[in-house]
Structure 1
Amino acid sequence: MELHQLRYFVAVAREGSMTAAASSLFLAQPTLSIQIRKLEQEVGAKLFERLARRVVLTAAGKAFLEHAERALAELERGRERVADVVGLRQGRVAVGVLPSVAAHLLPAVLAEFRAEHPGVTVHLVENDVSRDFEQLVQAGELDVAVTRMPVTLAGLGARTLVREPIVALVPPGHPLAGRAGVALRELADEGFVCMRSGYGLRELTDQLCAEAGFVPRVVIETGQLSIVHGMVRSGVGVALLPRLAARGAEHVVPVSDPHARRELGVVWRRSAQESPPVAAFLDRLLATCDGASELRPAARGAAGAR
């Protein structure tokens, strides 16, 4: 069954005449008649009763007309939806974000994007495990993700957004409070408040301490960044966090070790850029980060597949 046959059938039913329907469709009448006969063969019943100067629907034709009109109407609505998506009047973008990114980096991006494209829905998925995001993007479950760099999976586009310093959160009255900087090795005897094992921020803490020659003595593990802040504020221990994740903390001391940095970037499937909403979101994300001096990395990472 061909789509044009449905259109021809509906036109004949509305006009009540093969001649009038052929004229409205800009077809020769014999061509229209052949297509109607093919459709009747396909559905297995006569759809029209041919009278002297007009045609009328048979019982089968009346039953079929409702479904043919509905199918054509759904097709037209589908075309309108596509036009809305292409024109960015509708659409959806699924974005993976680390919790600290969702709280401190994305609000400005989302506000500007929503102002530009109010009909496009942005669905945020929070996760603290960067490698999961790469797999979800590659599998098509996410369109883009803002995550730790570098990217490890092949075939993904990637661009660095932020290279941010690591800072130490210390309790009020701590000997390091107010210092201009601290070396990681000075924290070797401290008790640490950390995210649980498996979280990206915990992986980062363990890595930094290992590079400084010690294993952190973890006194509290949690799955909530806000709890890390609260425990440090209450004097339970110290914490190592990237600058974005440390926002709002009272006593923050920059870490002086040159390797103490976190690099954040955006990753995407190249095919996802064929979606206008996804391409527009990527453009807004990059433009906002490029325009924010406090987020601008020292050396911009190159776009492209890793």
Structure 2
Amino acid sequence: MDTRQLEYFVAVADERNFTRAAERVFAAQSTVSAGIGALERELGVRLFERDPHGVRLTDAGRAAVEEARASLQAIERMRDAAAGDGALRGTVRVGIFTNLTTIDLPGIMGEFHRRHPLVDLRLGPSPSGSTGLAEDVRQGRVDVAFLGLPDRVPGVLTLPLADSPFVAILPVGHPLAGAGSVSLAQLAGEPWVDAREGFGNRVRLDRAFAAEGLVRQVPTELADLGEIPRFVAAGLGVAALPELTVLPAEGAVSVPLAPEVLWPLSVIARPRPSAAAQALLDLLAERFGIPPSPTLEGP
């Protein structure tokens, strides 16, 4: 068994598809299939069930894939330790939000590249928002991820970055559009435009409504927070978003919520991050002016 076989195994387990896995590891599909076959023969078990609907892990595969991830992480740390010139190498996979426009993410990543030009960065969102990013880090599919969930995620390192207040997003013709502030109770009876369930801002806002004993209807759900103000402007309903995530839209206005509802922004990483991932955590702490001391939540 070799490192590439483990990489193929993890890629197929994540993608549930040999073609996408081959694209991810920059190999031919036949090479990935052959590598998986060789690994199955060496282990003496089937790792995947294959049918016309796709690929899924067997019970043995589910047990083995976690060990494969741990082995690849250990190899990465060994390479870090053996680097004789002190230059960081490798790849950092970063889970991001596509709408954090008030945070200069390109500038941060550009600075990281200038400091560590031999490290590759692979950035991407999750279709299920913060919930998906948290699971990606827990499962080792992502090294570092931004997070907007109200609760700490067990089993990962957490570095709190900021708390952003929610603001109501209203059409310009709304009776409360010119108010100094609005409450959730004043808006609860209206149709809402919001992120899909699982997104951190949706989780936080749902809890705020529940805490006040309020019920709302969300007939319009989006996967792109940046589009929500435009849908509000189009008359589909009202919304509330963390101020850090709001993209201005003609025909929509922002009004502070009172009482205040805060959205916690943090960054998480798997335990014992690689040297390159740790360097990115340190840079984020530097940019946000906070101590670079992430905490590990049990278990």
Same fold (TM over 0.5): yes
Indicate the residue corresponding to 1:140 in structure 2: 140
Q: How many residues align?
A: 215
Indicate the residue corresponding to 2:189 in structure 1: 189
Map 1:71-220; keep pairs closer than 5 Å: 83=83, 86-88=86-88, 90-101=89-100, 103-105=101-103, 106-127=105-126, 128-148=128-148, 149-154=150-155, 156-220=156-220
Note if 1:236 corresponds to 2:246.
no
TM-superposed deviation, 1:162: 0.9
Per the normalisation by structure 2, the TM-score is 0.64
CA contact (8 A) 2:113 2:119 kept: yes
Measure the CA separation in 2 of the matches of 1:167 and 1:279. 33
Note if 1:290 corresponds to 2:281.
no
CA spacing shift, 1:212–1:99, aligned 2, 3 Å: farther
Measure the CA separation in 1 of the matches of 2:212 and 2:294. 32
Measure the CA separation in 2 of the matches of 1:108 and 1:126. 18
CA contact (8 A) 2:226 2:245 kept: no
Indicate the residue corresponding to 1:29 in structure 2: none
- % same residue: 32
Q: Which runs of 5+ in 1 are unaligned?
A: 1-78, 292-299
Indicate the residue corresponding to 1:73 in structure 2: none
Q: Secondary structure, in 3 states, of the residue corresponding to 1:99?
A: coil
CA spacing shift, 1:135–1:240, aligned 2, 3 Å: same
TM-superposed deviation, 1:281: 0.8
Indicate the residue corresponding to 1:252 in structure 2: 254
CA contact (8 A) 2:87 2:118 kept: no
Per the normalisation by structure 1, the TM-score is 0.62
TM-superposed deviation, 1:228: 1.6
TM-superposed deviation, 1:287: 0.6
Map 1:61-72; keep pairs closer than 5 Å: none
Indicate the residue corresponding to 1:53 in structure 2: none
Letter aligned with residue 152 of structure 2: V
CA contact (8 A) 1:185 1:213 kept: no
- Give CA deviations for 1:61-92 in whole Å, capped at 9, x if unaligned: xxxxxxxxxxxxxxxxxx89x6389402x421
CA contact (8 A) 1:160 1:265 kept: yes
Letter aligned with residue 277 of structure 2: V
TM-superposed deviation, 1:198: 3.5
CA contact (8 A) 2:286 2:292 kept: no
CA spacing shift, 1:302–1:175, aligned 2, 3 Å: farther
TM-superposed deviation, 1:140: 2.1
Q: Which runs of 5+ in 2 are unaligned?
A: 1-78
The structure whose Rg is larger is 1
CA contact (8 A) 1:144 1:267 kept: yes
Measure the CA separation in 2 of the matches of 1:162 and 1:268. 17
Provide the alpha-carbon RMSD of the alignment: 2.9
CA spacing shift, 1:185–1:288, aligned 2, 3 Å: same
CA contact (8 A) 1:85 1:277 kept: no
Q: Secondary structure, in 3 states, of the residue corresponding to 2:204?
A: helix
CA contact (8 A) 2:147 2:200 kept: no
TM-superposed deviation, 1:220: 1.7
CA contact (8 A) 1:85 1:91 kept: no
Measure the CA separation in 2 of the matches of 1:214 and 1:301. 39
Indicate the residue corresponding to 1:267 in structure 2: 268
CA contact (8 A) 2:132 2:198 kept: no
Note if 1:305 corresponds to 2:296.
yes
Which shifted more, 177-186 or 215-224? 215-224
Map 1:33-52; keep pairs closer than 5 Å: none
CA contact (8 A) 1:177 1:253 kept: yes
TM-superposed deviation, 1:178: 2.8
TM-superposed deviation, 1:271: 1.4
